[in-house]
Amino acid sequence: MFRLQKALEKAKEKRAELRGNVSAHVSPLEMINYSQTRVVELPRETLEKNRIIAGFANDPRAQIFRTLRTKIIHKMRTNGWNTLAITSPTEEGGKSLVACNLAVALSMEVNQTVLLVDLNLRNPSIAANFGLQPEKTMYDYLKGKAELSELMVNPGIERLVVVPGGIAEGNTSELLSTPRMKAFIRETKKRYKSRIVIYDLPAVLPTDDALNVLGDLDAVLMIVGDGENTRDQIERSRELISITNVIGTVLNKSSEKFASKGQE
């Protein structure tokens, strides 16, 4: 409990900290040459098999994510936001699959580019969802073993770039609160204002990993698996994520196929 409270206090201070100096060893994002981003053309069959269907106009399930996209874009543009966290109370909610499909749906907008970042360093799944085999990951970057230009992959979908997570060794909570992590968030937000950056975070109840990042981001979308969580778990999660702007809650795997609830 003490650890969780400490993480909450740290998260509330993060936005002010981001205005400060960051260690000189952190390479700024303006050094990245996006023309060198690795492109991996994925077959339609791979995406369909992995349920990444938001880009298929003839798939009726895609409309679910286009509707969610419209709501997200309106809310974020109205408030001048460009960083969005995706999380859930526990790991069973299917949040990473929602994050992937939302990122694809957002990238279908002609004037919108998207960066999808996997920060679930205990159980990364973004690369696997896209059928990617990353050479370098966000974990490598945070450990100073890779530059950002080595991480970024275009999965053959125009205007979408993916940063895979990688399984971390050691304390992921401390890793997600390093100056190098802060620099990544600050620079992507500052330098690419026309881009929406989606962070797939760990679930909020099992560990304090997500809380170390949430305070730095503009907004959060919570994914709740249908029948996966108790009311107390959902309410506790909403309390924890309220350190940033709660943009809404999505009920995933619903018997009604899809349900969403906006947060004013």
Give Cα 7 to chain centroid, integer Å.
19
CA distances (Å), origin 81, targets 37, 161, 203, 249 = 25, 19, 22, 17
* Separation of alpha carbons 117 and 199, rounded Å: 5
CATH at residue 236: 3.40.50.300
pTM of the model: 0.83
Residue 62's domain spans which residues? 2-262
* Separation of alpha carbons 225 and 210, rounded Å: 18
**pLDDT one-digit tens code per residue, 139-186:** 999 999 998 889 999 998 989 999 999 888 888 999 999 999 999 999
Look at the chain and report how many structural domains it folds into. Answer: 1
The confidence score (pLDDT) of residue 153 equals 93
- pLDDT under 70 in the chain at which residues? 1-36, 254-264
The confidence score (pLDDT) of residue 255 equals 45
